[in-house]
Structure 1
């Protein structure tokens, strides 16, 4: 039995660096960007795939959270029994990205389908992470539906918006760079 060959992909390194730079604050602060983890898992599923990268990103997220809490004084409020539900949360994003692999053209219909998949994946991820936190964290012992809906209305818009912004901006930038490189290549061979 042979071990899998380890190849370093620049895209994976870039996404991991973005996670390391942004994971410290969910919604950002005046001095820190909001967390890009959801978009990172989506884009990694879309462009890179591979279960080893998925596991590596999960381990990186956990390590960053551990270091942020134990060494940098970040609050541990969100760490609870529900923390394990980040695995299916990120899997929803990853699988949404993988599903979008079938759309290879940058045609408006394909882009609209990818955007819809991103919204559905992000909304599913929110329901898993937020719902599990609300039910299992112990932070809301007297929880009820009206309180959950209030918290949903408070946290869902920035959760969705931040993810959409990161994913769309990164996707557009990478697409533009690929287009420029392709144009240069076609001019050099002509």
Structure 2
């Protein structure tokens, strides 16, 4: 997939920023709260935006949203421990997996299926980094041990994976629909 033009880059970046803001914390209340899309946003940002500075900007946005959530929206600071410093690494796993796969994406279904597979593997690794660092370094468990860690991994892992992969799947379906519409439009213009 070729790099996006400046206007498309800016538009997609604003969409990803809006999705992260809209889903990062419950500022619209419980009735309108969607699951956090941040991990999917990082994969999709790597896939489509690719630029390193954009990754840094998205990490800073995530930290700023967490700060606002904790300081002003009444969100618990339970997860803010030494392990929080590992979140940029967890985000980087997703971003750079998407960035690595980006040149392989075209309009074909197989390339989008490949993107989904890469997202799945990256999400597993990202979850291992974020959850593992929280469990082992977060100081929330008196005597951490592997059995408890594995039970918590199985407790939270499926929810994390389902949420992240669902957002990625929706984005890839949108990609396919938009690519098909653009292709049909180009073919129609060529005939005219």
Per-residue CA deviations over 1:119-144 (Å, capped at 9, x if unaligned) read: 11001100100000001111012111
Distance 2:110 2:181 in 1: 22
Q: Write out aligned runs for 1:109-188 (5 A).
A: 109-188=110-189
The answer to whether the 8 Å contact 2:105/2:115 transfers is no
Q: 1:29 to 1:143 in 2, by over 3 A?
A: farther
The answer to whether the 8 Å contact 2:16/2:45 transfers is yes
Per-residue CA deviations over 1:58-102 (Å, capped at 9, x if unaligned) read: 010000000010000011111111101001100000011012113
- The Cα shift of 1:109 comes to 3.7
Q: 1:78 to 1:48 in 2, by over 3 A?
A: same
The answer to whether the 8 Å contact 2:116/2:168 transfers is no
Q: Write out aligned runs for 1:1-190 (5 A).
A: 9-24=10-25, 30-190=31-191
Distance 1:75 1:31 in 2: 19
- The Cα shift of 1:106 comes to 3.8
The size of the alignment, in residue pairs, is 183
List structure 1 segments (4+ residues) > 4 angstroms apart after TM superposition. Answer: none
In structure 2, list runs of 5 or more residues that go unmatched. 1-5
Q: 1:159 to 1:79 in 2, by over 3 A?
A: same
SS of residue matched to 2:106: coil
TM-score by length of 1: 0.89
Choose between structure 1 and 2: higher helix proportion.
Answer: 2
- The Cα shift of 1:29 comes to 5.5
The answer to whether the 8 Å contact 2:20/2:37 transfers is yes
Report what 2:3 is aligned to.
none
Per-residue CA deviations over 1:27-68 (Å, capped at 9, x if unaligned) read: x96541111011111011111111111011001000000001
Q: 1:115 to 1:174 in 2, by over 3 A?
A: closer
In structure 1, list runs of 5 or more residues that go unmatched. 1-5
Q: 1:29 to 1:133 in 2, by over 3 A?
A: farther
**Is 135-144 or 58-67 further displaced after alignment?**
135-144
Distance 2:171 2:92 in 1: 20
Distance 1:29 1:127 in 2: 28
RMSD: 1.9
